[in-house]
Structure 1
Amino acid sequence: MPFWLMKSEPDELSIHDLQRLGKARWDGVRNYQARNFMRAMRPGEQFFFYHSSCPEPGIAGIARIVGDTYPDPTALDPQSHYHDPKASAEKNPWSALDVEFVEAFPRVIPLAQLREQAVLSGMPLVQKGSRLSVMPVTDEEWAGVLALR
């Protein structure tokens, strides 16, 4: 079963928010490659929950995909930060999916520490200039991150 990594700004949705809620909608992805990765996800697959755009970016825990993708309603909402004026109910290019909490790590594994790990050197997350918010994670990378918990 494939593994993934998805980024969220913790002031919007953090691992602790997801823990409290149990389940939430993952939406607002506005990059076609990241969207395509989301569309490849299947129920039951797990992902690293990454806190981004915050004082201490890093992997904060694990969550699970609980359904198939569906049209992202935030694209159609003019009040949403993620509104896409080109999207319509008939042609919405953006996807969302539901996720559930699995585990919060005792501490956030910081990006600086992730970059130091040889097993993670090929991971887009640790590449300079990579801003992709959804990405696949290899079995070896998954195990390498779990060893840092």
Structure 2
Amino acid sequence: MAYWLLKTEPDTFSIDTLKQQKVSCWEGVRNYQARNMMRDGMTLGDLVLIYHSSCKDVGVVGIGEVVKEAYPDHFQFDPESPYFDPKSSPENPRWIMVDIEYRQHLRYVSLARIKSNPALEEMPLVKKGSRLSIMPVTDMQWNEILAMSATPIR
């Protein structure tokens, strides 16, 4: 099992939305490096930190689990979708998605707290220039963020 951090804008899709839907496809990833991590790295049972970005309270807010491995993102074929890619085809899809199941909310851990924790200084999230929407999380980083949230894990 591996750990990941997935960024989402809560005005578009939040941890509360995921809880309500129970399972959701994680679509719209349009960065090749992030796509490759989903395609080549994410496997069934991997756990993910849900991270709210581009909002007032930026930080980790919950946990999800990968319940379906990489498959073609159907939005890339829909001309009405903001994720449409005219260079992609069903025979040769460029973009993929995974399905994430809600596990639980965490007590909010702000980006400022994450940045101020010396144990997390190597986390891609706090590195200058790292803007990926998907990134790996080490066992140590996972445990440190959970400790910072002080939330019992179910």
TM range (shorter): over 0.9
CA distance in 1, matches of 2:26, 2:130: 20
Give the CA deviation at 1:129.
2.1
Moved over 6 A (4+): none
Q: Paired residue for 2:98?
A: 97
CA distance in 2, matches of 1:141, 1:125: 11
Q: Paired residue for 1:130?
A: 130
CA distance in 1, matches of 2:57, 2:128: 17
Q: Secondary structure at the match of 1:113?
A: helix
Q: Secondary structure at the match of 2:68?
A: coil
* Cα deviations by residue, 1:33-81 (Å, 9 ceiling, x for unpaired): 1011111111111010011111111111100000111000111111111
Report the AA paired with residue 85 of structure 1.
P
Q: Secondary structure at the match of 1:98?
A: strand
**2:124 is the counterpart of 1:110:** no
Q: Which runs of 5+ in 1 are unaligned?
A: none
CA distance in 2, matches of 1:74, 1:123: 31
Give the CA deviation at 1:6.
0.7
| TM-score, normalising length: structure 1 | 0.96
CA distance in 1, matches of 2:148, 2:78: 40
| TM-score, normalising length: structure 2 | 0.93
- How many residue pairs get matched? 148
CA distance in 2, matches of 1:75, 1:118: 40
CA RMSD of aligned residues (A): 0.9
* Cα deviations by residue, 1:4-28 (Å, 9 ceiling, x for unpaired): 1111111221111111111111010
Deviates more, 1:86-95 or 1:136-145: 86-95
Q: Paired residue for 2:61?
A: 60
Output aligned runs, 1:1-149, within 5 Å.
1-39=1-39, 40-106=41-107, 108-149=108-149
Identity of matched residues, %: 47
